[in-house]
Amino acid sequence: MKRAIVVMTALLMQGGLEARAQTTGAVPSTAATPAAKPVEAKAPAPTPETRSAAALAASSEPTFDAGSADRITDAIQAYSLIEKLGGWPAIPAEAKFSLATPGPHDELLRLRLVISGDLTSAEAKGPYNAALVAGVKRFQLRHGLEATGNVGPRSLAALNIPVQKRIEQLEASLQRVASIGFRFGPRYVVVNLPAAYAEAVENDIVVRRYRVVLGKADKPSPTVTSEIGNVNLNPTWTVPASITKNEIAAHMRKDPTYLSRMHMQVLDFKENVLDSATIDWAAEKLPNVFVRQEPGSWNALGQVKIDMPNAYAVYMHDTNQKNLFSEDYRFDSHGCVRVDNVRDLAAWLLEDTPNWGRPEIDAAIATGVKQSVKLEKKVPVAWIYLSGWMGRDQVVQFRNDVYDQDSQLVEASAEVKSFFDQASKPAERSKVN
């Protein structure tokens, strides 16, 4: 029997997801709720450190490692088995679920979760109770949703994505993993764009995980591999020409004090500072100038920039809009990756660089002086696009195809296959003749 079928059988019949969840603490136990529930204290506001700790607590399994292709292949075979057996049922849009009120769709939801391995077959019948809530939470965690146990609009939409679509996501991810050619080292960084998380991996274990803010749908962050060689403290920001033309010029037409208020300067390409009042900001084509923002808390790059040379001129950095890290939907940049708790990542990157621990980083930032710190050992980095994958824990994960790249890749692959199928037909006929 193929290993993929064994994996799916374990998920469906032996409650593999439930066992893992109870072991790791990723999902609360299904034990009965005590009769007298204590009054809960108001939770403190999350900080970058607590957000990173919570993200890491969910799993220490890397999203991407040397075994990813084999595991995704296993997941494809397992989900193909589900498709062969008829897939899973759709949950009606009008379905309502409540712990207090048994509903006509409770067992349909149970069946849906049993088929995908989020409930055991022994839990296929019954009302919307604590066990079903735990199953919904497992499903939500696997799909990057807040684990509330309530079936809201986003959870319902994810539940009703057909298995064929999930297979296409896995197939697209497999193609990307197979073609990326990434050189894994003992320490590397991965940003999975659909998941909106960055991982610092050391000796095949995720030792840091951070929320990130990525490019908007119309300004997507690219897939790219590189090496991190420098950490810039108190960086300046050289504004891309497209932003200068499309955004800064518009601000200057409305408010001539905009650049000074934003601690920005206009420079020529010899880096001479120019008087912004001499620039015709309404011109169809701006002169050969560029805009640079000085270091400080106002800077769009925040106080840390992580260099990773590449053809797209993108990088990882801090931000002065830290409120965005608290959002579930974190696609709001022009293509670069903003990292929550970025000083912690900088300290990890500089672990092998003498005299550059976290206290030294904090002290250097406090001076407000721009400084570039060269890593003693470069660290490989990959920005990847995996909307479906399976970790070493055998748990299959899915995220939304935020940039609509899976469907484009599947369509392109189908066109290529059709071309070669058509091209092979004359050759086949000549063999018959």
CATH number at residue 210: 2.40.440.10
Residue 147 and residue 208 in one domain: no
* Residue from 147, 129, 130 nearest 138 by CA: 147
Q: Which helix (H) or strand (E) holds 172?
A: helix 163-180
Rg (CA), the chain: 25
pTM: 0.83
Residue 158 and residue 291 in one domain: no
pLDDT at site 305: 98
Q: Determine, yes or no, domain membership for 61.
A: yes
The tens place of each residue's pLDDT in the chain, 433 residues long, gives: 344 344 444 444 333 333 333 333 333 232 333 344 455 566 678 899 999 999 998 889 999 999 999 999 999 999 999 999 999 999 999 999 999 889 999 999 999 999 999 999 999 999 999 999 999 999 999 999 999 999 999 999 999 999 999 999 999 999 999 999 899 999 999 999 999 999 999 999 999 999 999 999 999 999 999 999 999 999 999 999 989 998 999 999 999 999 999 999 999 989 999 999 999 999 888 888 999 999 998 999 999 999 999 999 999 999 999 999 999 899 999 999 999 999 999 999 999 999 999 999 999 999 999 999 999 999 999 999 999 999 999 999 999 999 999 988 876 655 544 544 555 566 555 555 4
Residue that has been written with the tokens 């801090």 in this structure: 318
In the chain, how many domains are there? 2
Residue 203 and residue 60 in one domain: no
Beta strands in 216-336 (DSSP E): 224-233, 237-238, 264-268, 273-274, 289-293, 304-307, 316-317, 331-333
CA distance 294 to 87: 56
pLDDT at site 423: 55
Residue 156 and residue 215 in one domain: no
Q: Which helix (H) or strand (E) holds 134?
A: helix 130-142
Q: Determine, yes or no, domain membership for 394.
A: no
Residue 274 and residue 368 in one domain: yes
pLDDT at site 319: 95
Residue 122 and residue 220 in one domain: no
pLDDT at site 247: 92
Q: Determine, yes or no, domain membership for 384.
A: yes
Q: Determine, yes or no, domain membership for 398.
A: no
pLDDT at site 407: 81
Residue 74 and residue 209 in one domain: no
Q: Determine, yes or no, domain membership for 75.
A: yes
- CA angle (265 as vertex; 263, 271 as ends), nearest 5: 140
Report residue 379: phi and psi, to 5°.
Answer: -115, 120
pLDDT at site 427: 56
Distances (CA, A) of 412 to 388, 405, 418: 18, 10, 10
From 165, 197, 224, give the residue that closes a domain: 165
**Cβ-Cβ contacts under 8 Å for 428 (sequence gap 6 or more):** none
CA distance 295 to 312: 23
Residue 118 and residue 218 in one domain: no
Residue 188 and residue 283 in one domain: yes
Q: Determine, yes or no, domain membership for 427.
A: no
Residue 231 and residue 293 in one domain: yes
54 close to 141: Cβ distance less than 8 angstroms = no
pLDDT at site 41: 61
pLDDT at site 426: 63
pLDDT at site 287: 84
pLDDT at site 24: 32
From 113, 130, 165, give the residue that closes a domain: 165
Q: Determine, yes or no, domain membership for 411.
A: no
pLDDT at site 285: 86
Range of the domain at 59: 3-28+45-165
Residue 59 and residue 187 in one domain: no
Q: Determine, yes or no, domain membership for 433.
A: no
Instruction: Indicate the residue type of 60.
Output: S
From 113, 133, 165, give the residue that closes a domain: 165
Residue 188 and residue 157 in one domain: no
pLDDT at site 139: 98
